[in-house]
Amino acid sequence: MASLLRTKVEFFYDVVSPYTWFGFETLCRYRPHWNMELVLRPFFLGGIMKQSGNRPPMMVPAKALHMNTDLKRNAAYFQVPLKVVEDPFHVLVEKGSLRAQRLLTAVKLNNPRHLEEVTRQLWIRIWSEGTDITQNNSFWQAGKKAKMDDEDIEKCIKLVDDPVVKKTLIDTTEEAIEYGAFGAPTIVVHSKSGSEMFFGSDRFPLIAMYMNAQWKGPNPNPRD
C-alpha cells in the first residue's frame, strides 16, 4: 500500500552528458530517503537538442572554456568520480551516444533490474576512465561489471539495432520533448496536483520543496 503513495519521479537522461551523471547519483542516493518511485528513462540528447534548438555547452565558446573547471567543482561537490576527457568534441559530437542509449533501452525492456548499474558503468567508462561507449565490446564490459548474465548481455547487444528498441528510444525522446525538455537531465515529478518538469542537476532543493521532502545536500548518507 505504501508504494502506491510514492511520488513518481521520471529521470530522462543520456550518458553523454556529464552533468546528468551528478543528478543520476544524487537521485539514486535519495531513493530510500524520499518517498519516491524513481523511474529511469534513457533518451537521446541529440534529438532533444535538435528539436528544441538548444546547443551543448561545449558548442558555446565561453561555456566550453568554463566547462572543465565547472565539471571538476561539481564532481567534488556531488562526490562522483568524474574526470574531464581530453577531447570533448570527439567524445560528445563525433562519437556520440546513440548506440549506448539504444543499449540502455534494450536493457530497460528486457532486464530492467540491471538498468541502473549498466547506466552507471557506461558513465564510468566515458566520464571516469575515458574509454569507449559505442562499440559492442564496451557494452559487454559494462554488462559484466553490472553483473548481467552473459546470455542477457548478448541479447541486449543484438537488440541495439532492433526496430522496437529504436522506436522505443524515439518515443521516449518525444515524450520528454512533450514535457518541455531542452537538455539533460530532465526530471519530471508527478504529484496529485499535476506534473512538474525540472531541468539540471542543481534543482534538487526545488524538487525537495515540491515533494515536501528534505534536501540534505548531494549525499544524504554521510558515511558513504
**Kind and range of the H or E element at 204?**
helix 204-211
End-to-end CA distance of the chain: 30
Whether 186 contacts 17, CB under 8 Å: no
Please classify residue 193 by burial: count the beta carbons closer than 10 Å to its beta carbon, then call 0-12 exposed, 13-18 middle and 19+ buried.
exposed
Whether 79 contacts 219, CB under 8 Å: yes
Cα gap 150→128, rounded to integer Å: 24
Cα gap 57→182, rounded to integer Å: 13
Note if 193 is an active site residue: no
Cα gap 181→54, rounded to integer Å: 10
Q: Exactly one of 3, 17, 52, 201 is catalytic; which is it?
A: 17
Q: Which ranges constitute the DSSP H helices of 98-162?
A: 98-110, 115-124, 136-145, 150-158
Cα gap 108→178, rounded to integer Å: 21
**The cell 546547443 sits on which residue?**
55
Name the residues annotated as catalytic: 17
